[in-house]
Amino acid sequence: LGDSLTAGYGLAEEDAYPAVTARLLAERGTPIHLVNAGVSGDTTAGGLSRLDWVLRQKPVVLVVELGANDGLRGQPLAGIEANLREIVRRGQAAGALVLLAGMKIPPNYGREYADGFAAIFPRVAKDLRADLIPFLLEGVAAEAQLNQADGIHPTAEGAQIVARTVAPYVQTLLRRARAGRAA
């Protein structure tokens, strides 16, 4: 469940990080059925409004990659956090293991806002006992050669790095889900 980063803005569908993550997992002996619910331009409110459709797919793992557009638009931090909390809560209530992708924004709106924004993700994950990728774009953000001309969206090479960041978290959650079903 995400925005343009998940949708793979500017990339072929098979080059977006979710598809690459699925291929990596298959190569590692953990094939998955992937539903890419990324929508370019989406916000946490938009993701929340689409959540019921996503949960009808009965995900074992729900990767939540939302918030960047909220932050880039200077949305109130409390609203971003409330939406993310509700997405995580509802995902967990539906039986999914939730993986929250941490995001950061440039300090355009001031250091206080940028720091407050970045702090939302670990706080929500900790409070709701969800798993957290500290920063989805680790090793990709601000690396010109790994981003498209807009400086925001990863190239195919950048998406491969993002997938290598995401795959171990998803694999761990899938193992946990399997262990829980076996217990």
Catalytic site residue from 3, 4, 15, 70: 4
DSSP element (H, E) containing 88: helix 77-93
End-to-end CA distance of the chain: 29
Task: Please return the burial class of 98, using the count of CB atoms within 10 Å of its CB with bins 0-12, 13-18 and 19+.
Answer: buried
Look up 15 and say whether it is catalytic: no
Query: Which of the residues 15, 42, 70, 153 is marked catalytic?
Result: 153
Beta strands, E only, the chain = 61-64, 97-101, 131-133
Q: Give me the numbers of helices (H) and strands (E) for the chain, helices first please.
A: 7, 3
DSSP one-letter code for 147 = B
Tokens at 31, concatenated:
């094939």
Is 33 one of the catalytic residues? no
Q: Could you confirm whether 49 is annotated as catalytic?
A: no
Catalytic residues: 4, 150, 153
